[in-house]
Structure 1
Amino acid sequence: MTFKKINAWVHLWFGIASGIVVVILGITGCILVFEQEIRSISSPWFHAESNGKALLPPSKIQEAVLRSLPHKEVHSVWYHGENHTVHVTVNSDSTVYVDPYTAKVVAMVDHEDFFHIVEEGHFYLWLPKEIGEQIVGWGTFIFFFLLISGLILWWPKRWNKKSRDQAFKIKWKARFKRINYDLHNVLGFYSIIIALLLAFTGLMMSFQWFNKGVFWMSGGIDQPRIEAISDTLSMPQTKMLVQVDKAWHKGINQLAEHNPKDIIVSFPEKASEAIYVCTDMFSGTWRDVYLDQHTLEVLPASNKKLLDENFAALIRRVNYGVHVGAIGDLPTKILFFIVSLICASLPITGFYIWWGKQRKSRKKGRKIIKNTYQPA
């Protein structure tokens, strides 16, 4: 009984302390789950017709951007596969979208769009990064343990029919107070596995100590970071744009195992810098590859193919895809959307339960006082 009282006290007050954070993370998470799908519908500049033409190489895309924006520097080109525009990162607050079949600049879109604002709320609560990151991280940490303490509170004292019905069913025909309790208690139980997964993967992204701890417990051994540097002594006179185009071709035809034409290629700024190629982008995972700018050899700083990774590294690689529900495509996204919505509702329904008990306690107290001082 003492343990249950302490657990109930922790669940109540830690829930009140982290409630606002959990509500914001839950609602913004619901929106971000379907970010790509919403963007695809609401942004006509995402689409391009191939009409039988081949994709143009990065050098042609850069040339088209510099014709329209002569004073800008192109940092990278992101191809989104067939029948989609490529988006080009330049030293500006806008993202440039280019038709990869005609090299026509289709649109310039401000980076500070709706989804960027939502991301700022999900990552930092619209606060300065240093402060917001810590609040989000520790709010998620508290929520993780609230889910466990909630499971303890949910656990029926007896497993008879009445207790099972109370634990697993929402009594829709009851008064609002009872429905609210069931929404907190029953939906909290049904969503607990995915909710724990969301919190766990969120903690992996929030805290380095947590990430490293999980990596170590999974059997991984952290190695010193290898810097991706090109050997300038081998072929220092190589033309950079020619090599970038060759790196793009190599990424599509040799490096990629999944979605080969969904690829990011960077433009090195100096001879010692490697060419960055991001490939194998599927289900929220990707592979970072660094190519020597002169020889196009894969440098040791590159990721292995996903299936060649050990278990500990695999957890790190799939963490983001699991967190956003992309690991299982649309069915998983729908499931994660529902659970994220439930997570956002738990502090609200929980607060109403507590507030109702406080009102009942105050009414009872006033009744006792009234009866005590009533004349005989």
Structure 2
Amino acid sequence: MKSRFFKLFYKIHIYAGFFVAIHLFVFITTGAVLLFKDEIEGGESHAEHHEAIQLPALDAHLQKILARYPTDRPLAFNIEESDPDVAQIRMGLNGSKMFRESRRVYFNIHTGEEVAAPQKTSSLMDFILRLHRELLMGSNGKIYVGFVGLLYAFVLISGFFIYGNFAKKTQFGEVRQNTSRMFNSDLHRFLGMSIFAWGLMIALTGLLLGVSSTLIKVFQYSELQKLTAQYPEAPEPPYASLDLVLAEAQKALPGTSFDYLAFPNSQFSPPGHFLVLMHGNTAWTERLVELVVVDAVTGKLTEVRSLPWYLKAAMLSEPLHFGNYGGLFLKIVWLILSVISLFLPISGLYIWWDRRSKKGAASTATAAKSSLTIGKGRLFKRPYLMPTIIALTSVTAVVGSFLTTGLVNTLLALFLALPAYFVLRLVVRWLRKGSV
């Protein structure tokens, strides 16, 4: 493995890791705050949002709003996530089909009275979210963050292959204390392999979230082109009632809840048809939506379209990235793994700096070998066997806790805590034995 290719691969790992490390300090600290957003703001846990929302009759309220703004065109309708009693209608000014500079009208879904826009998250929490999501650089910042996620994935994967070359003389979880450089190198590799699967998931979901807006725009353009070509005719109003359209969408996809409706012949809908987005009511499906196409005049179902795989992956990335789908215990495990992952760039930077400052200097270590270990046995002596078991266990725990609730969810989260247990075990032994 001491080939020219390996040395180049190793150097790329180091410098890519150096670049990623600068950003991880921001992402991990802000992500830890966002992880407990509901608890900090006193809101309802995201894991409790799975029940279906029953909508009252809405058409009469819509007609009143249209009469109040007779020159505007209805573009879209949705229920506010922060307040399920409040709905929003986007109105194109002076009959415009465009969403940009459109009017937003909020009303109570029970009384039909116009209300003020629901209060968003606190200014501090909004700042932290924008810092984490886009580094305060807007839409371009999201793409940049996605690029950092891609590099982080490369650093983890390259580290996985590099690990085997350096772990031939040590067992998994063994941290030698002969010198500070040896101690930090072994610790860096141990931490990296312990959280490899979890860290890779965070990196890839971060990448998908970074490019999600671009993926949505691509889908909107391509799908709208197909729908417009398929349904070119634009019948004149009056259109079917809003209640009839929503009922037809619910009938087409039982067991789902309303998410979003685009009125016919707007910037994001074809002529002569409503587009209704419906989402599931479970932890797994609430982020996934299906597209229901309803005839604008008859209010009858035309077809149901599934979103492409890349959009489904992007939609599932948010809960998987933030770990807010399995209750408080899973959030605590997520926080512990985040803290552990924070030591990866710290130890990596130390190794890089130590090698630069002592380059060419001969080692003066004469002490007998002294090591910390987390366990003994055949499993720990094989370089890749134990890390692979931990990785598979972590993946099983993440997917399993995403699909279940209650006690089963908590038990599965315990499997995800396995890397944290090993790290804690090593720390306890280090404290008992004494530091380098």
Question: TM-score with structure 1 length normalisation?
Answer: 0.64
In structure 2, what is the Cα distance between the partners aligned to 1:153 and 1:133?
30
Counterpart amino acid of residue 42 in structure 2: I
Preserved CA contact (<8 Å) 2:153 2:203: yes
In structure 1, what is the Cα distance between the partners aligned to 2:104 and 2:127?
16
Match for residue 348 of structure 1?
Answer: 346
Preserved CA contact (<8 Å) 2:208 2:314: yes
In structure 2, what is the Cα distance between the partners aligned to 1:315 and 1:255?
24
Match for residue 79 of structure 2?
Answer: 78
Q: Which moved more, 1:143-152 or 1:319-328?
A: 319-328
Cα distance change, pair 251–133 in 1 and its aligned pair in 2 (3 A): same
Match for residue 278 of structure 1?
Answer: 277
**Aligned-pair distance for 1:158?**
5.4
User: Per-residue displacement from partner, 1:251-305 (whole Å, max 9, x unpaired)?
Assistant: 23x1334343x432344476935322111243421122232211334456x523x
Counterpart amino acid of residue 172 in structure 2: R
Cα distance change, pair 4–298 in 1 and its aligned pair in 2 (3 A): same
1:126 partnered with 2:136: yes
Counterpart amino acid of residue 192 in structure 1: F
Match for residue 97 of structure 2?
Answer: none
Q: Secondary structure at the match of 1:353?
A: helix
Preserved CA contact (<8 Å) 2:188 2:347: yes
Give 1:140's match in structure 2, choosing from 149, 157, 173. 149
Alignment length, in residue pairs? 325
Give 2:244's match in structure 1, choosing from 246, 249, 256. 246
Cα distance change, pair 80–4 in 1 and its aligned pair in 2 (3 A): same
Give 1:11's match in structure 2, choosing from 10, 13, 36. 13
Q: Secondary structure at the match of 1:165?
A: coil
Match for residue 164 of structure 1?
Answer: 172
Match for residue 292 of structure 1?
Answer: 295
**1:25-44 equivalences in 2 (<5 Å):** 25-32=27-34, 37=38, 41-42=42-43
In structure 2, what is the Cα distance between the partners aligned to 1:350 and 1:21?
14
In structure 1, what is the Cα distance between the partners aligned to 2:272 and 2:84?
29
User: Per-residue displacement from partner, 1:57-103 (whole Å, max 9, x unpaired)?
Assistant: 3335546878999999773122669x943442547899877553444
In structure 1, what is the Cα distance between the partners aligned to 2:178 and 2:107?
57
Give 2:312's match in structure 1, choosing from 310, 317, 340. 317
In structure 2, what is the Cα distance between the partners aligned to 1:283 and 1:344?
31
User: Per-residue displacement from partner, 1:146-167 (whole Å, max 9, x unpaired)?
Assistant: 111211333365567x522327
In structure 2, what is the Cα distance between the partners aligned to 1:194 and 1:259?
30
Q: Secondary structure at the match of 2:296?
A: coil
Q: Secondary structure at the match of 2:79?
A: strand
Q: Secondary structure at the match of 1:227?
A: helix
Q: Which moved more, 1:173-182 or 1:97-106?
A: 173-182
Q: Secondary structure at the match of 1:24?
A: helix
Match for residue 232 of structure 1?
Answer: 234
Give 1:303's match in structure 2, choosing from 297, 302, 305. 305
Q: Secondary structure at the match of 1:329?
A: coil
**Aligned-pair distance for 1:321?**
1.0
In structure 2, what is the Cα distance between the partners aligned to 1:112 and 1:90?
24
**Aligned-pair distance for 1:248?**
1.5
Q: Secondary structure at the match of 1:264?
A: strand
Preserved CA contact (<8 Å) 2:249 2:301: no
Cα distance change, pair 202–110 in 1 and its aligned pair in 2 (3 A): closer
In structure 1, what is the Cα distance between the partners aligned to 2:89 and 2:180?
52
**Aligned-pair distance for 1:353?**
3.1
Cα distance change, pair 143–106 in 1 and its aligned pair in 2 (3 A): same
**Aligned-pair distance for 1:355?**
2.8
Counterpart amino acid of residue 76 in structure 2: H
Match for residue 255 of structure 1?
Answer: 252
Q: Secondary structure at the match of 2:241?
A: helix
Q: Which moved more, 1:286-295 or 1:106-115?
A: 106-115
Cα distance change, pair 290–64 in 1 and its aligned pair in 2 (3 A): same
**Aligned-pair distance for 1:330?**
0.9
In structure 1, what is the Cα distance between the partners aligned to 2:103 and 2:185?
47
Question: TM-score with structure 2 length normalisation?
Answer: 0.56
1:265 partnered with 2:261: yes
**1:145-156 equivalences in 2 (<5 Å):** 145-155=154-164
Q: Which moved more, 1:61-70 or 1:149-158?
A: 61-70
5+ residue gaps in structure 2? 92-100, 216-221, 365-436
Counterpart amino acid of residue 325 in structure 2: D
Cα distance change, pair 196–250 in 1 and its aligned pair in 2 (3 A): same
In structure 2, what is the Cα distance between the partners aligned to 1:166 and 1:96?
62
**Aligned-pair distance for 1:180?**
6.2
Match for residue 392 of structure 2?
Answer: none
Preserved CA contact (<8 Å) 2:291 2:305: yes
